[in-house]
Amino acid sequence: MELEERARDSADNCIACTSCVAVCPVTKANPDYRGPKLVGPAHNRMHFSDENDYEDSLKLCSNCKNCDITCPNGVSVATLNMLERAKYYKAHPEKHTQADQMLSHNFQMADMLKSIPFGRTCANIGMSIGEAMGMMGAMGIAPQRKSPRFATKYFREMYKEIKQPEGLTKEVLFFPGCFIDTNDPEVGVAFVKVMNANGYKVLMDDRFKCCGSPLVVGGYLDEARSHADNNVAIINEYAAKNIPVIACCTSCSLMLKAEYTELFAQEEMAQAAKNVYDAFEFLTILAEKGELKKVHVSSDKKFIYHAPCHLRAQGMGMPAVDLLKEIGVNIDSADAGCCGMSGSYGFHKENYETSMKIGSELFDKINASGAHKVVCDCGTCREQIKHGTNAKTTHPIQVLAKAYEQ
Amino acid sequence: MSKSDVVVIGNGFAGLMSALVSADQGKKVTLLSYGAGTFPLNSGVIDVLGYDDSGKAVANPAQAVSAVADEHPYKKIGIQALEESVKFFQDVVAAEGFPYVGSLNEQQWLVTGVGTLKPSCLIPESMQGSKCFEASEIVLVGIKGLKDYYVDMVAENLAKELGNDKKYTVVTVDPHYQGARDLTTKDVAAWMDTEAGYADFVSQVKGNAGAGKVILVPQILGLKGNVVYKKIVAELGCPVVETTAMPPSVNGLRLRDVLLSALKKKGITVIEKAKAEEAVIEGSKAVAIKAGGEVRLQTYNADKFIVATGGFYSGGITMRDFGEAKEVVFGLPVECDCFEERWVNKQLFSDKKQTFAKTGVRVDATLRGVDESGNVVLENVYVVGRNLSGYDFCFEHSGNGVALASAYKAAKA
Ligand SMILES: Cc1cc2nc3c(=O)[nH]c(=O)nc-3n(C[C@H](O)[C@H](O)[C@H](O)COP(=O)(O)OP(=O)(O)OC[C@H]3O[C@@H](n4cnc5c(N)ncnc54)[C@H](O)[C@@H]3O)c2cc1C
Ligand code: SF4
Ligand code: SF4
């Protein structure tokens, strides 16, 4: 059922204060981008559906949501941009590039490779060869980057081999998301350990699809909608059984909690959102109820934390940092803004320079920190950090899982 | 989230200063922020009192503050807290390497972005318009392609203000800008932060610099405190003065960054996009605030709360209908002359205060909300900044001054 309150109507709340322009990292790094105020709210209101009337620089927005974070009037600026972008590609499907197609549909590739014996190993070798021969650039993908390799075993496969303790009465459903599932499954393993230690059995549901974030950014809104409908139905099924859904990736959780509803304005989506939690949000709730497993870390190894923009946009601070600090981890937030990657954005060849310029403040802070590892909840932020600094990275849930092992 | 001593709601100038003063008292502070506050809009200068009730320009803010009407927040805050707050602020920004000049005993002068003069009380070193007074020649720098800065008009207006016995020279600097959008002062300031941009600028201006001259520029001297300002003054060998600016205001952003850096050093937790929605009250005390977040509100417990939500302008106070103004988070009593016929003074630039602008929470001398008989409503909830009733910041030029002094007083209480 359609909701009455729609994100696209929030354009009318814009008072043209330019706060969003002042903080937009792409505006700062790339003088061709006209900035959120004009591209989002203003254009949305002025746009009278001539299918050729599009703002050219719209494609430069990374959907990082710093505009939303800064807007004093609750305008869903980034979503307005994404809706506008979707309209453009609907009218001009031929404008989609090969890179758009690939970067938005990585989940299809991942599924296909899984079905081929040694498919992943071969693909990884193929990527190495492709990178070495400079083929990435020809496909529109930033040749400077190393593409994330596929794990030889995805999390959904590893999960089946994990023996969870008998007799756990409480259950949560894990939404792994593509990156953790197919690129960084150890994060999922750590999540299961942490939840088990707190008395929860972790469930998986193979019907889940990619949250759709890369599809939205690529302008494939209809496909994103079908993913949303699929995932929302599953989440609501579990809600009926009082089983919460938890994500470790902050872009996935933002999508499930907020962006589905913003983009598509369906009541079921708003309903499902109430049953979705970020992992550390959930653990914090346990801690507040005195139900979180107690542990104290005595090592003084120094960590530095990078807060993903898609976590900051959730309006709940940095629960991972608070919780890790509480148990004695020596960790401090870098507070250096956007890393510049924004999911698949920085992988596009034409965005590479912008992406690295945006990240430079964070890279400098990390390099100067002398920290032993960078902690961050987002997989593609971690890729960017490794690329920009050579630092080692980890997900906060892995830090907590380690603490539990001691 | 574990309990704080103080929760500050709102992240404008009043909110940030409340948090800093509270932390300085050794308190554990959480700040709930939403949006960017007025920083990107105002020039980051601290007006204490520019004009008195009759609209006469104030020469000595301390004296004029002592003479304000009983309803005015300064009366409740008192001159001592104002004085201490000014010192506190100047210490904070100086420690961050971004000193503000000025005192309560005289006004500083700003050159506006259209070339007029305007009084203020505390201003960054780079904006000291008074340096133009002694100069024999003012070199006005325009920037090719810069939006909303018409250097010839600035020259013309400034000559009217300062007289024609000075020489006014206009120089236009080409930033070799290639972008597709309009150039803003923020873009030029970012360019000045680069070594190449700085060197390019200096090479285009240097020929016009020299003894007895002042270089007047739009607000472009870098985004990071006064780094570029110090460098360029030394290099050009004569005073350089920035004008005020159209939003996004570079100096407003500088001040915000500097204060946020100070907050971080004090270990203050800042929660972004955390709009306070509900208060949890027990008896005559607030115990928690529910705020934020996507889907579900988060609970923030504390012993004391400071409401710095910016009044009408920033959503701290709303009014659906005449007579129904309310403070949004705690429902504190709002004082206003809420009758349609008296609400606005239709002459926008007239010499009278606006009724709607004076609307705010009714507080006592402790800055806690009080009912009509003067009884404190919530013992541990304090109100600061634009939320306070009884003054029209726009008319009297007192916005950031009231914000600072009230923040200081509430945090010390
Ligand atoms: C265009 C303009 C120019 C100005 N120029 C000057 C000047 O040159 N000099 C001067 O001294 N003064 C100036 N002022 C006045 C000055 O900016 C303000 O009076 C003063 O800064 C008010 O500060 P504040 O912190 O009370 O409010 P604000 O700066 O408005 O901050 C309030 C903050 O609280 C947030 N908020 C609101 N509701 C909630 C909630 N429920 N939960 C969480 N957060 C919330 C808002 O989003 C906002 O960020 C100017 C004002 C304007 C509008
Ligand atoms: S989403 Fe990010 S890149 Fe896009 S307009 Fe907003 S701040 Fe700028
Ligand atoms: S910050 Fe919000 S209100 Fe201000 S210009 Fe941007 S969208 Fe409009």
Q: What is the pLDDT of residue B370?
A: 96
Residue A149 inside a domain? The answer is no
Our measurement of the distance from residue B316's CA atom to the centroid of its chain's CA atoms, rounded to an integer in Å, reads 17
Residues B284 and B281: their CA atoms lie apart, in Å, by 7
Angular region, A250: left φ>0, alpha ψ -120 to 50, beta rest: alpha
CB atoms within 10 A of CB A152: 11
Q: Are residue B306 and residue B393 in the same domain, yes or no?
A: yes
Q: Are residue B342 and residue B203 in the same domain, yes or no?
A: no
Q: Are residue A336 and residue A375 in the same domain, yes or no?
A: yes
Ligand 3: distance of its center to the CA of A18 in Å? 6
Q: Which residue has the tokens 């907590």?
A: A400
Residue B115 inside a domain? The answer is no
Q: Among A27, A28, A60, A66, which is best to mutate for testing ligand 2, by the most ligand atoms less than 8 A from CB?
A: A66
pLDDT digits (tens, 9 = 90+) for B301-334: 999 999 999 998 899 998 877 677 889 999 999 9
Residue ending a domain, among A139, A165, A197, is A139
Looking at chain B from residue 109 to 168, which residues have their Cβ under 8 Å from any Cβ of chain A?
Answer: none
Residue A401 inside a domain? The answer is yes
Q: Is the beta carbon of A37 within 6 A of some atom in ligand 3?
A: yes
Answer whether B263's CB lies under 8 Å from B92's CB.
no
Q: Are residue A280 and residue A305 in the same domain, yes or no?
A: no
Q: What is the pLDDT of residue A12?
A: 85
How close is the nearest chain A Cα to the Cα of B36, in Å?
5
pLDDT digits (tens, 9 = 90+) for A249-262: 999 999 999 999 99
Q: Are residue B46 and residue B155 in the same domain, yes or no?
A: no
Query: What's A326-374 look like in SS3?
Result: HCCCEEEECCCCCCCCCCCHHHEHHHHHHHHHHHHHHHHHHHHHCCCEE
How close is the nearest chain A Cα to the Cα of B115, in Å?
23
Residues A280 and B334: their CA atoms lie apart, in Å, by 39
Q: Are residue B172 and residue B298 in the same domain, yes or no?
A: no
Mean pLDDT of chain B: 93
* B309, B314, B320, B325 alpha-carbon torsion, rounded to 10°: 40
Q: What is the pLDDT of residue A141?
A: 83
Q: Are residue A162 and residue A262 in the same domain, yes or no?
A: yes
In 3D space, the residue among A372, A194, A189 whose CA is nearest the CA of residue A295 turns out to be A194
Residue A11 inside a domain? The answer is yes
Residues A217 and B217: their CA atoms lie apart, in Å, by 40
Q: Are residue B269 and residue B405 in the same domain, yes or no?
A: yes
Q: Are residue A259 and residue A313 in the same domain, yes or no?
A: no
Residue B120 inside a domain? The answer is no
Q: Would strands B298-307 and B117-120 be described as parallel, antiparallel, or unpaired?
A: unpaired
Answer whether A153's CB lies under 8 Å from A188's CB.
no
Domain span at B168: 129-238
What Å distances lie between residue A263 and A6, A65, A104, A249, B26, CA to CA? 8, 14, 17, 20, 45
How close is the nearest chain A Cα to the Cα of B183, in Å?
8
Residue A147 inside a domain? The answer is no
Residue A214 inside a domain? The answer is yes
Residue ending a domain, among B238, B268, B299, is B238
Q: Are residue A301 and residue A386 in the same domain, yes or no?
A: yes
Q: Are residue B152 and residue B73 in the same domain, yes or no?
A: no
Q: Are residue A201 and residue A278 in the same domain, yes or no?
A: yes
Q: Are residue A111 and residue A22 in the same domain, yes or no?
A: no
> Which band of pLDDT confidence, cut at 50, 70 and 90, is reported for residue A389?
very high
Mean pLDDT of chain A: 91
Answer whether B54's CB lies under 8 Å from B29's CB.
no
Lowest mean pLDDT of A295-299, A358-362, B6-10, B367-371, name the range: A295-299
Residue A200 inside a domain? The answer is yes
Q: What is the pLDDT of residue A258?
A: 96
Q: Are residue B63 and residue B160 in the same domain, yes or no?
A: no
Ligand nearest to the CA of B34: 1
Residues A31 and B187: their CA atoms lie apart, in Å, by 8
In 3D space, the residue among A15, A66, A75, A72 whose CA is nearest the CA of residue A40 turns out to be A75
Percent of chain A with pLDDT over 70: 97
CATH of the domain at B288: 3.50.50.60
Two tokens at B390? Answer: 């009884």
Q: Is A376 helix (H, G, I), strand (E, B) or coil?
A: coil
Residues B141 and B108: their CA atoms lie apart, in Å, by 22
Q: What is the DSSP letter of A181?
A: I
Residue ending a domain, among A255, A286, A317, is A286
Q: Does B298 touch chain A (CB under 8 A)?
A: yes
- Output Rg (C-alpha) for chain A, integer angstroms: 21
Answer whether A79's CB lies under 8 Å from A71's CB.
no
Q: Does A68 touch chain B (CB under 8 A)?
A: yes
Ligand 1 environment, Cβ below 6 A? A 72; B 9-15, 32, 34-35, 37-38, 41-43, 45-47, 275-276, 308-310, 313-316, 328-329, 385-386, 393, 399-401, 403
> Which band of pLDDT confidence, cut at 50, 70 and 90, is reported for residue A66?
very high
Q: Are residue B185 and residue B288 in the same domain, yes or no?
A: no
Structurally, how many domains does chain A consist of?
4
pLDDT digits (tens, 9 = 90+) for A178-208: 999 999 999 999 999 999 999 999 999 999 9
- AA identity, residue A102: M
How close is the nearest chain B Cα to the Cα of A130, in Å?
33
CATH of the domain at A356: 3.40.50
Q: Is A179 helix (H, G, I), strand (E, B) or coil?
A: helix
Structurally, how many domains does chain B consist of?
2
Q: Are residue A368 and residue A245 in the same domain, yes or no?
A: no
Q: Are residue A174 and residue A275 in the same domain, yes or no?
A: yes
Q: Is B216 helix (H, G, I), strand (E, B) or coil?
A: strand
Q: Are residue A188 and residue A275 in the same domain, yes or no?
A: yes
User: What's the rounded mean pLDDT across residues A233-262?
Assistant: 98
Residue ending a domain, among B173, B204, B238, is B238
Residue ending a domain, among A257, A286, A315, is A286
What Å distances lie between residue A134 and A120, A129, A138, A149, CA to CA? 20, 8, 7, 17
Q: Is the beta carbon of A81 within 6 A of some atom in ligand 2?
A: yes
Two tokens at A349? Answer: 């060849």
| Closest C-alpha residue for ligand 1 atom 3 | B42
Domain span at A102: 98-139
Q: Does B267 touch chain A (CB under 8 A)?
A: no
Q: Are residue A273 and residue A168 in the same domain, yes or no?
A: yes
Residue B108 inside a domain? The answer is no
Residue A76 inside a domain? The answer is yes
Residue B124 inside a domain? The answer is no
The sign of the CA dihedral A275, A277, A279, A283 is negative
Measured at the CA of A87, the angle between CA A84 and CA A88, to 5 degrees, comes to 90
Q: Are residue B96 and residue B139 in the same domain, yes or no?
A: no
- Across chain B, which has 413 residues, the per-10-residue mean pLDDT values are 92 98 98 91 94 91 95 97 98 98 97 95 98 96 93 97 95 92 92 97 96 96 96 97 91 96 96 96 97 91 98 88 84 80 59 74 96 95 97 93 98 96
Q: What is the pLDDT of residue B240?
A: 98
Q: Are residue B399 and residue B266 in the same domain, yes or no?
A: yes
Residues B355 and B323: their CA atoms lie apart, in Å, by 13
Two tokens at B92? Answer: 């904070």
Q: Are residue A274 and residue A352 in the same domain, yes or no?
A: no
| Closest C-alpha residue for ligand 2 atom 6 | A67
Closest residue to B248, CB basis, from A18, A31, A258: A18
In 3D space, the residue among A59, A45, A68 whose CA is nearest the CA of residue A88 turns out to be A59
Q: Is the beta carbon of A61 within 6 A of some atom in ligand 2?
A: yes
Answer whether B251's CB lies under 8 Å from B43's CB.
yes
**Cβ-defined contact of B40 to A22 (cutoff 8 Å):** yes
Residues B364 and B13: their CA atoms lie apart, in Å, by 21
**Cβ-defined contact of A316 to B181 (cutoff 8 Å):** no
Q: Are residue B305 and residue B401 in the same domain, yes or no?
A: yes
Q: What is the pLDDT of residue A226?
A: 97
Q: Spell out a b/e string for A305-329, using b for 16 or more CB atoms within 10 Å of the CB, else e.
A: bbbbbbbbbbbbbbbbbbbbbebeb
Residue ending a domain, among B238, B269, B297, is B238
User: What's the rounded mean pLDDT across residues A81-104?
Assistant: 88
φ and ψ at residue B383, rounded to 5 degrees: -120, 135
Our measurement of the distance from residue A350's CA atom to the centroid of its chain's CA atoms, rounded to an integer in Å, reads 21
Does the predicted model carry a pTM greater than 0.90? yes
Q: E strands along B268-356, which residues?
A: 269-271, 276-282, 285-291, 298-307, 317-319, 325-327, 334-335
Residue A321 inside a domain? The answer is yes
Residue B208 inside a domain? The answer is yes
* Contact residues, chain B, for A315 at CB < 8 Å: 271-275, 291-294, 298
Q: Are residue B296 and residue B330 in the same domain, yes or no?
A: yes
Residues B291 and B302: their CA atoms lie apart, in Å, by 13
Beta bridge partners of B289: B279, B300
In 3D space, the residue among A363, A389, A341 whose CA is nearest the CA of residue A179 turns out to be A341
* Contact residues, chain B, for A319 at CB < 8 Å: 1
**Cβ-defined contact of A68 to B273 (cutoff 8 Å):** yes
Looking at chain B from residue 272 to 291, which residues have their Cβ under 8 Å from any Cβ of chain A?
Answer: 272-275, 291
